[in-house]
Amino acid sequence: MSLKTEISFRLNGRAVSVTIPVTMKTLTMLREVLGMTGTKYACGEGECGACTIRLDGRTVNSCLMYAVDCDGRELVTIEGLKTENALHPMQQSFVDHGAIQCGFCMPGMIMQADYLAQNNPELSCEDLRRGLEGNVCRCTGYTKVLDAVTAVVEARR
């Protein structure tokens, strides 16, 4: 039996306490313990960004992050972006621009895009391309993704 420990943190604004094995990754905890399957597992090695979440405001790969390290922190996942009745503006822009195909990369892509747009109101196309380097999409070819994010950045100016 692997050693377990109890941790408490905030997830999408709610307080959560959960007992997990000490070597479990945050992604596994989200999907398999908490049933929050919005965040996706693809490579499991930090290469693709499908598992991107926010931790204390900054994006990280949840497949690499140990769940124990969530203790006392603030997490936001793709489920935390939308409000009661409406999609988040970044989600809506992806829909409006036809930037989503199979959609598997999109939770991570949108989390990272939202992070970039929020942190840099002057986000240029070059900044955006660099900022999305850790997010791989096998369908869209990225052009419409860039259009979708750029539209949000411009609307906020």
Selected from 6, 23, 32, 46, the binder of ligand FAD by CB under 6 A is 46
- Identify which of residues 4 and 98 has a Cβ nearer to other proteins in the complex: 4
DSSP state of 31: I
CA angle 60, 135, 155 (to 5 degrees): 90
Site for ligand FES in 85-114 (CB under 6 A): 100-106
Under the phi-then-psi rule, with left for phi > 0, alpha for psi from -120 to 50, and beta for the rest, what region is 148? Answer: alpha
Residue 8, SS3?
strand
Residues of this chain that bind other proteins (CB under 8 A): 2-3, 5, 21-23, 25, 44-47, 49, 52, 55, 58-61, 63-66, 68-69, 71, 112, 115-116, 130-131, 133-135
Selected from 6, 47, 56, 96, the binder of ligand FAD by CB under 6 A is 47
Q: Are 141 and 105 contacting, i.e. CB atoms less than 8 angstroms apart?
A: no
Q: Are 134 and 151 contacting, i.e. CB atoms less than 8 angstroms apart?
A: no
Binding mask 137-156 for ligand FES (x = CB under 6 A): xxxx----------------
Residues in contact with ligand FES by the rule CB under 6 A = 41-44, 46-51, 61, 63, 100-106, 137-140
